[in-house]
Amino acid sequence: MEIIDLNTQKAETCEISIALGNFDGIHIGHQYLIKDNIRKAKDKNLKSSVLLFKNHTKTILKKDKNSKIGIITSYSQKLKLLKELGVEIVYTIDFDKNVMKLTPEEFIKDILLDKLNTKLVTVGFNYRFGNKASGDSKYLKTIGMKEGFEVNIIKPIYIDNEIVSSTNIRNLIRSGDIDKANSFLNRSYSVLGIVVEGTSRGRKLGFPTANIKLNDNYVVPHTGVYKTITMIDDKKYLSLTNIGYNPTFDGDELKIETYILNFRNNIYGKLIEINFDEFIRDDIKFSTAGELIKQMKKDVEHIK
């Protein structure tokens, strides 16, 4: 897969089929859209591609600068998933105020036609673009008929009578319904983070944990204990992850701590990935440390 940064590089002169969207999560609906774009590209002898903003559009559009959108997938995770789907070219661009101010007509002419030589565009049914989101998929199709490019509009994808969307997935993660979120994603929800030093309380209790500082502004799952798979240097380890405030010890800071079974290596400063597979229980305040240890032993037996 070729990655071309439109901020610093010129696009290839080949004719392309391009998928457009924020693609946060690259969930099952996004996967269908991107695969359909690839299929149509092959049929028309075009290069399949995706236009990917390096940052989520809502990070610029949010009026409250202190309010941050919780993301489902980081930029690096998106690139990995797009490669696995078989996309040939990923065009990346910063979503900044200059791009935000482009009218729908300017976006089509300056980027899709002049920069990218687009012959086919694939978008979702609810796709919007241009200044103040004034353009939509129907308008794009109308312009396409005039300018000589085809527009492929994908209908919504449903699971259990619910539309699969990034917004729904964020809400499911925040509520702790990780099973349903994973079914919408077609994989386990995962976060990347750096292992940092903690209080070493887990080690003293007999359950040494890796304390994680998130790499991006991820959607943080509901507080509680989860069965997880931790990826370290491309190796998978069964793990137990707690998201909470350490109520037994009157903690007041939200922490993500992972106990990796049968693992004792020093991984401070290492980037790891935590995949959330199952919600086990809520974050509970125990009367004594002994009660906490007893429950943690039960949790470990459960995930085994």
The token duo for 258 is: 């992972």
pLDDT on residue 231: 97
CB neighbour list of residue 302: distance below 8 Å, 6 or more residues apart: 227, 280
Q: Calculate what percentage of the chain has a pLDDT beyond 90.
A: 72
Strand 16-19's sheet: what is its strand order? 2-5, 89-93, 47-53, 16-19, 118-124, 150-154
Query: What average pLDDT does the segment 62-84 reach?
Result: 81
Query: What average pLDDT does the segment 68-92 reach?
Result: 94
Tokens 């729904």 belong to which residue?
Answer: 168
pLDDT bin (cut points 50, 70, 90) of residue 47 is very high
pLDDT tens digits, residue range 235-286?
Answer: 999 999 999 876 554 555 788 999 999 898 999 999 999 999 999 998 877 7
Distance CA(90)–CA(16), nearest Å, equals 11
10 Å Cβ neighbour count for 49? 29
Q: Give the global pTM.
A: 0.89
pLDDT on residue 12: 77
From residue 266, how far is each of 171, 197, 233 by CA, in Å? 35, 11, 13
pLDDT tens digits, residue range 184-229?
Answer: 999 999 999 999 987 655 565 667 889 999 999 999 999 999 999 9
Of the listed ranges 65-69, 143-147, 196-200, the least confidently predicted one is 65-69
Q: Which residue has the higher pLDDT, 219 or 69?
A: 219
Asked if pLDDT for residue 288 goes beyond 50, the answer is: yes
Instruction: List, in order of start, the domains of the chain with CATH numbers.
Output: 2-162 (3.40.50.620), 188-303 (2.40.30.30)
Asked if pLDDT for residue 100 goes beyond 70, the answer is: yes
Of the listed ranges 73-82, 98-107, 220-229, 246-255, the least confidently predicted one is 246-255
Q: Calculate what percentage of the chain has a pLDDT beyond 70.
A: 90
The token duo for 68 is: 């941050």
